[in-house]
Amino acid sequence: MPRITSLIFVSLIASMVIAALVTPLDQNSDVIAADDESAPANALLAESATQAPARPKSPTYTVTIRRPDGPPRIELAGSDPQGRSGTVACSTCHSVRPPAFQNRNATTLDEFHQGMQFNHGTIACYSCHNPDDADSLRLADGTRVDYSDVMTLCSQCHGPQATSFAHGAHGGINGFWDLSRGPQVKNNCVDCHDPHAPAFPKMIVDFKPKDRFNMPHTDSDDH
């Protein structure tokens, strides 16, 4: 297990370093891999990668793992006299409130976060959230983890998934299979799984091939 975690960790660090090299300052931007070469984001990535002076010989492009923007911000309920609304950091409230370590769901709360649905095993809020620094997360061993590195947190329990993820066998991928020809972008855990209720949601099938004579539910419009 430590090997797996360190593997993830190393790959994360590596991707961060590479991302820092090839992307402009805003490294937490939601880079969605465009399958079209003309899409600006992709073109930018491709261009900067090929021109990156640090790797002049190797044409290897990078695998970028999408990352959350950082710690969530809480929308203020009202607006100030000028009509401005705003957001505040988690720590705005949580730095002055004592943590309820045993709390597992929203029903025991008397204010805030009411109505939130939790369906993530039987873990407590502070299994993941950091009681010492509300704007970050915390590993089981007490290590602080940034929200943007949430995958490190997930991986401590979901090892097999993390291993599969590291090998492209879990999670959506976009872009290029051949990294000598273009970059690849991989989804983050929280792109698909709500951390508070991680089961993948049900979907509605909205596209079916319409074969003639093979349509028990709808009528044929072809021929």
Partner 1 sequence: METSKPSLPIVENFSRRAAVKGGFATLGAAAFVAAVSPLRQAAKNTTAAEFMQQHYTELSPEQKTDVIARLEAEAKEKHGVDVKISDDRPIPGTKFVYAINLSVCNGNGKCVEACHKENNHDRATNQSYIRVIEMPKGTMDMEQGSTTYTGAVPKDDKFYLPVQCQQCDEPPCVDVCPVKATWKEEDGIVVVDYNWCIGCRYCEAACPYHARRFNWKAPEIPAEEINPNQGYLSNRVRPVGVVEKCTYCLHRTRKGKLPACLEACPTGARVFGNILDKDSNIRWILENKRVYILKEELGTKPAFFYYFD
Partner 2 sequence: MSNTATKQNHISSYPKFIGRSLWLATEGSFGFYAWMTMLTAIFLVGANAWANQVAGGMVGTNMTDQVSWGLYIANFTFMVGLAAGGVMMVIPAYLYHDRKMHDVVIIGELLAVAAIVMCLMFVVADLGRPDRFWHLIPGIGKFNFPISMLTWDVIVLNGYLVLNLHICGYLLYMRFLGHRPNPVWYVPFVMISIVWAISIHTVTAFLYCGLGGRPFWNTALLAPRFLASAFVSGPAFIIVSMIMIKRLTGVTGLEQPIATLTKIIRVTILINLLMVASELFTEFYTGGSHASAAKYLFFGLHGKTALVPWTWTAIGLNVTAALLFLWSGILSERWRPLLIAACAMAFVGTWIEKGMGLIIPGFIPSTLHEIVEYVPSQLEWKVTVGIWAFGLMVFTIAIKTALPTLKQPSH
Contact residues: partner 1, CB under 8 A = 33, 35, 160, 164, 167-178, 180-182, 184, 187, 192, 200, 202-212, 214-217, 221-223
CA atoms in the 13 A half-sphere facing the CB of 77: 2
Sign of the C-alpha dihedral computed for residues 127, 131, 135 and 137 taken in this order: negative
Interaction partner, residue 178 (partner 2, partner 1, none; CB < 5-8 Å by kind): partner 1
CA atoms in the 13 A half-sphere facing the CB of 70: 9
CA distances from residue 53 to 39, 40, 123, 180 in whole angstroms, order as listed? 23, 21, 47, 16
- Contacts made by residues 132-138, CB under 8 angstroms, sequence distance 24+: 133/91, 134/89, 134/90, 134/91, 134/93, 134/94, 134/95, 135/71, 135/89, 135/90, 135/91, 136/71
Binding-residue pattern over the window 182 to 211 for partner 2, x denoting contact by CB under 8 A = -----------------------------x
Q: Does 108 bind partner 2 (CB under 8 A)?
A: no
Cα dihedral 65, 70, 71, 76, rounded to 10, equals: -130
Q: Does 3 bind partner 2 (CB under 8 A)?
A: no
Report the residue number, 30 or 178, with the smaller CB distance to partner 1. 178
Q: Does 57 bind partner 2 (CB under 8 A)?
A: no
Q: Does 218 bind partner 2 (CB under 8 A)?
A: no
Closest distance to partner 2 from the beta carbon of 213 (Å): 5
Interaction partner, residue 121 (partner 2, partner 1, none; CB < 5-8 Å by kind): none
Closest distance to partner 1 from the beta carbon of 47 (Å): 16
Q: Does 213 bind partner 2 (CB under 8 A)?
A: yes
Site residues (CB under 8 A) for partner 2? 211-214, 222-223
